[in-house]
Amino acid sequence: MAEAKFQKVETGGMNRRRKVLLIIAAGVLALAVISIWGACMDPAKYAPNYEARRLMPSLSHLFGTDHQGRDMFFRTICGLSTSIQIGLLSAVISSLVALFLGSLSAVFGGRVDTAVGFMVDLCMGVPHLILLMLISIAMGGGAAGVITGVAVTHWPNLTRVIRAEVLQVRSAQYVQIARKLGMSKWHIAAKHIVPHVFPQYLVGLILLFPHAILHEAAITFLGYGLPLDTPAVGVILAESMKHLATGMWWLAFFPGIALLLVTQLFDIVGDYLKILIDPHSARQ
């Protein structure tokens, strides 16, 4: 009887697990398709075509065209691709900084901990967007400036999380017991500490993408980021502002929605990944 009950619960769990896996896979696939499609796109697709200017969205131009007759759909895809790549690069750099500083802070404690805490406070004390702009301008603008800016300003939150996680697991009873059972430092680091911190790190990394992407778009929109000739969502949105008054609403509407959807996709992938690797929900 009890056996049968257990079996039933378990098959129910497999279905949910599969559903979660499916959602994650679909999210990752959609993001991969957009970034590869955009990166490999022939620039002729969104080149100016003065015979098709200011067209409303239609089947031949899904997102309409702008005042130079550029197809906004292909331009948006290309822009999103740029955003995803920049987001990916800067989120990875930021998260590695966070991993390094967070672990350093937790393992050494004392003055190292104070120093890292000071850096975190310093970075969080300055308004984020201002700091981003300053770094981007100091680096001479362009893609390099944006990536550096986004990468060196997104680590503080994750650093705090990782520091707390490492501290917690290091003092956990099961880790102390493992030491008393004669396990080596390497065994404890590899079997207890890394598996505890890595999922938090991974989820933190994925949840950094939307931040990085939105900040990239924001400083580009304000004119301190990517140059005007790159197809970027920030550039598209900034340009569209000039044409809103003439009634070309689609210039801002579709790229804005697309940017929102992409950031949401990252959020969804991150949240579902959390469900998947947390032991309290892993079997549900």
Partner 1 sequence: MAILEVKHVDFRYGSGPWILKDISFSVEEGERVAILGPSGYGKSSLAKVIAGYLQPQGGEVLWEGKPLPPSGFCPIQLIYQHPEKALNPRWKMKDSLEEAGVPSGEVLTEMGIQEKWYERWPNELSGGELQRFCVARVLKPETRLLICDEMTTMLDAINQAHIWNFVLSYAEKHNMTLLAITHNQYLADQVATRVLRIPELNHIQVDRSEL
Closest CB to partner 1 among 18 and 187?
187
**Phi and psi at residue 232, to the nearest 5°:** -130, 150
Closest CB to partner 1 among 16 and 45?
16
> Given the structure tokens 């970075």, which residue do they identify?
123
Which residues does 279 contact at the CB level (< 8 Å), separation at least 6? none
Closest CB to partner 1 among 247 and 279?
279
Which residues does 13 contact at the CB level (< 8 Å), separation at least 6? 283, 284
The CB-of-168 to partner 1 minimum distance in angstroms stands at 12
The CB-of-173 to partner 1 minimum distance in angstroms stands at 4
Question: Residue numbers of the site for partner 1 (CB under 8 A)?
Answer: 172-184, 192, 195-196, 279-280, 282-283
Which residues does 46 contact at the CB level (< 8 Å), separation at least 6? 70, 71, 72, 74, 75, 78, 231
Closest CB to partner 1 among 118 and 198?
198
Closest CB to partner 1 among 204 and 210?
204
The CB-of-3 to partner 1 minimum distance in angstroms stands at 9
The CB-of-216 to partner 1 minimum distance in angstroms stands at 35
Residues forming a β-bridge with 122: none
The CB-of-13 to partner 1 minimum distance in angstroms stands at 11
Contact indicator for 74, 46 with CB cutoff of 8 Å: yes
Contact indicator for 258, 76 with CB cutoff of 8 Å: yes
